[in-house]
Amino acid sequence: MTEPTERIAKRIARAGIASRRDAEKLITAGNVTVNGARIDSPALNVSATDRISVNGKTLPEAAPTRLWRYHKPTGLVTTARDEKGRKTVFDTLPAELGRVMSVGRLDLNSEGLLLLTNDGELKRRLELPTTGWLRKYRVRVKGVVDDASLEKLRRGIKVDGEAFRPMSVAFDQQRGANAWLTIGLREGKNREIRRALSTIGLDVNRLLRVSYGPFQLLDLAHGDVVEVPARVIREQVGGDRVKPHPKPGR
């Protein structure tokens, strides 16, 4: 019987070392060996018995896939390290989570639901535009909202030469100088909501992500992190390595 194989970048991602894309960069940079031989191309399939090292360290056995919901506060950047020395999301997480990666990003002044995982392959799957999952945001803007302006966002808008796909936009309420909107995106680009609303004369002064596909922020308090049950991951995403974990991180 032939031993099952998979692409080496996928194997590295499943071990939680890096995303598949970053794993490919490690390979082309010459930082990966297979059975003692250095490789420089990700076009290689490996089996469970192959010995893989990344940056001189043996690749750990892939841990069961885990996923967490985290309520990101404002004032934190969503990177492992920040060149300006600002505090990151990962500086504040409980140590027992181990090494995790964020699914997408929220910028410094945005808050709300951020998904975290220990599995680079799951991260990639959840971030793919083809997944088609809607990301919903509650947005407070300064200014008076009119539906004609919002319709531009619903049809799709171009900002500084960059085309943004149509958004779902609902006007919720006007409160004095501010208004609340609910906006849905299926593919988020850098500061997309802020840039799009600025183009129609509205300045964002609060942006809160309330859902990412089927995963909801609900009543999760600022800074709290709660593990998504393995059963829910299997139902919503699938995955043969998703198994119950005895102590959900919190």
Tell me the per-residue pLDDT of 201-237, one tens digit each, with 9 for 90 and over.
999 999 999 999 999 999 999 999 999 999 999 888 8
The verdict on 148 and 196 lying in the same domain is: yes
Q: Is residue 232 part of a domain?
A: yes
Structure confidence at residue 36 (pLDDT): 92
CA atoms in the 13 A half-sphere facing the CB of 244? 2
Split into its structural domains, the chain has a count of 3
Out of 22, 50, 82, 107, the active site residue is 107
The verdict on 20 and 140 lying in the same domain is: no
What is the C-alpha to C-alpha distance for residues 240 and 232, in angstroms, rounded to an integer?
Answer: 13
C-alpha 76: how far from chain center = 15
Instruction: Read off the pLDDT band of 240 (50, 70, 90).
Output: low
Q: Tell me whether residue 50 is one of the annotated catalytic residues.
A: no
The verdict on 229 and 118 lying in the same domain is: yes
**Enclosing domain of residue 191:** 134-212
- Domain harbouring 17, CATH code: 3.10.290.10
CB 91 within 8 A of CB 247: no
Buried b (16+ CB within 10 A) or exposed e, 178-216: bbbbebebbebeeebbbbbbebbebebebbbbebbbebe
pLDDT tops 90 at residue 18? no
The verdict on 121 and 232 lying in the same domain is: yes
Q: What is the pTM of this model?
A: 0.78
Q: Is residue 219 part of a domain?
A: no
The verdict on 119 and 231 lying in the same domain is: yes
Nearest of 40, 48, 58, 66 to residue 11 by alpha carbon: 48
Instruction: Please compute the mean of the pLDDT values over residues 93-103 and round it to a whole number.
Output: 89
The verdict on 116 and 156 lying in the same domain is: no
